[in-house]
Amino acid sequence: MSGENGFEPRIVAYVCNWCTYLGADLAGTARLEYPPNVRIIRLPCTGRIDTNLVVKAFEVGADAVLVSGCHPGDCHYTAGNYHARRRWMLFRDLLDVVGFDMRRIHFTWISAAEGKKFQQTITEITEQTRALGPYRPYACGAGASACQPAPSGGAGAFACQHSQAQLRETAARLLSEGAVKVVIGYGARGPIFVTRPEDAAGLLWNETCFANLTTYLKRKEVRALGKPAIVVKGCDERALVVLEKESQVERAEIYTIGMACQGLGQPKCAACDTHQPGFADETIAADDGPAPPPAADRYAALDALLEKPPEERLAFWTAEFDRCLKCYACRQVCPMCYCERCLADKNRPQAIDSSPTRKGNFAWHLSRAIHLAGRCVGCDECTRACPAGIDLRLLNLALARAAETKFGYRAGMDPASEPLMGAYSLTDKEEFIG
């Protein structure tokens, strides 16, 4: 039975070797008929399935994708499916915010004994996809208006002479005592690296100090300077917490100078609830400025986007990503993007199209966002750095909210918590898994 115009859906099924693949085998040996529309790709474990593989399947012409593995408790590798479950919980929210058609992605647990369930699942997905029609990659909805993010409030300029003087004193002291070799702080045009006590006068503390300097801890040229002291605001400090959790920095090898901050007028500042650094080696108090305003709803901009129907969300992101130049400023400013070789730079084979085409840009931004799930501290540096003005923070916010509402987790708030994506719970909600 064919759909309209003889359309036959192509369905890609990523299945685990130990359960669903054997379930499919059983369906075959038991002579259970199911539509031939499915292309089965066998992988060791659902825990191995990179979200990029799902994006790839749609890129090369899949009309629907199924991911299926062992029932909870049955994983051949003990916990691969629990990790997968948590990953898909987050990835689904990301796809939803970009307006992806969620009816084309399916998750099931099918054991080696469930040939019948495999047959039914494939039959159902095929029929449903046939009714949906072919998948049209990143089609731009007609007549959709560009989404304007919710207006952001923020504190304006602030008096800071006293804190700035204290910061300079601290920096000069640390350098002359030999406690550190370099102070990473803010200068007139941006980040500066002060190595001599007499140069500490170049350090500034004002409303232009919005960069998150922790990103320099990954740079080998900066590491080569020796033990650093780093100037952090309460929001930046959260990045250090994550980096330490991921074994990227040793706090004992860094001296942190915390700056209490009343907000710098950036969009993120309106919703800030971490004005006061909590873990710094030394905190310079803000006793010369107004008290920070109460934190606004940090998801307001996301809600404004989610009020729109999926087609308009997709149209919004299509227009945003169409401006992407693939300059990778978003990646390079991010303190969490510390991989020595990014997935996007792997070209044997090419994991993500390097071309700044619609296809290549969607694949890149989805991949970047999901890799930051449970890790992004919301510093918005990616958004600030983007020369094309792409509102990347909305993707980060979608994942931050998924982490907060589903797992009660906020990245970089608790040094003792397990990393969100590195952990799992037996009680993770799986209402979306068939």
Interface residue list for other proteins (CB under 8 A): 60, 187, 189-193, 211, 215-216, 219-222, 323, 325-329, 331-333, 345, 350, 353-357, 360, 381, 384-385, 387-389
Q: If residue 423 lies in a helix (H) or strand (E), which one and from where to where? A: none
Closer CB to other proteins, residue 382 or residue 397?
A: 382
Distance CA 283, CA 355 (A): 45
Nearer to other proteins, 215 or 256 (CB): 215
Alpha carbons within 13 angstroms on the beta-carbon side of residue 376 total 30
Q: Which is nearer to other proteins, 330 or 399 (CB)?
A: 330
Residue of 101, 103, 98 whose CA lies nearest to 147: 98
Cα–Cα distance, 386 to 331 (Å, whole number): 10
* Secondary structure letter of residue 129 according to DSSP: H
The tokens describing 245, both together, are 């959790």
Nearer to other proteins, 133 or 387 (CB): 387
Residue written as tokens 């590195």? Answer: 422
How far apart are the C-alpha atoms of 18 and 76, rounded to whole Å? 7
Which of residues 179 and 327 has its CB atom nearest to other proteins in the complex?
A: 327
Question: Which lies closer to other proteins via its Cβ, residue 93 or residue 320?
Answer: 320
Min CB(355)–other proteins separation in Å: 5
- DSSP classification of residue 16: E
Give the count of alpha carbons within 13 A of 309, CB side only. 6
Taking the complex as a whole, how short is the minimal distance between the CB of residue 12 and other proteins, in angstroms?
Answer: 14
What is the smallest separation between the CB atom of 400 and other proteins, expressed in angstroms? Answer: 21
Would you call 124 exposed, middle or buried from its count of C-beta atoms within 10 A (0-12, 13-18, 19+)?
A: middle
How far apart CA 80 and CA 272 sit, in angstroms, is 36
CB of 353 to other proteins, least distance (A): 6
φ/ψ region of 6 (left if φ > 0, alpha if ψ in -120 to 50, else beta) reads left
Closest separation in Å from C-beta 356 to other proteins: 5
The 3-class secondary structure across 201-237, one letter per residue, is HHCCCCCCCCCCHHHHHHCHHHHCCCCEEEEEEHHHH
CB of 186 to other proteins, least distance (A): 10
Q: How far is the CB of 153 from other proteins (least distance, A)?
A: 15
Shortest Å distance, C-beta 43 to other proteins: 20
> What is the three-class DSSP state of 191?
strand
CB 58 to other proteins: min, Å: 13
Sign of the Cα pseudo-torsion (380, 382, 385, 390, in order):
negative
Q: Which amino acid is at 162?
A: H
Q: Which is nearer to other proteins, 62 or 84 (CB)?
A: 62
Q: Which of 109, 113, 123, 124 is nearest to 45 (CA)?
A: 109
How large is the C-alpha radius of gyration of the chain?
24
Nearer to other proteins by Cβ, of 22 and 213: the residue is 213
Least CB distance to other proteins at residue 236 (A) = 14
Distance CA 71, CA 81 (A): 8
Phi-psi region of 328 (alpha: psi -120 to 50; beta: other; left: phi over 0): left
Q: Shortest Cβ distance from residue 404 to other proteins (Å)?
A: 27
**385 vs 423 by CB, closer to other proteins:** 385
Q: Which is nearer to other proteins, 191 or 434 (CB)?
A: 191
Distances (CA, A) of 295 to 5, 263, 267, 298, 409: 55, 10, 12, 8, 18
Q: Which is nearer to other proteins, 213 or 398 (CB)?
A: 213
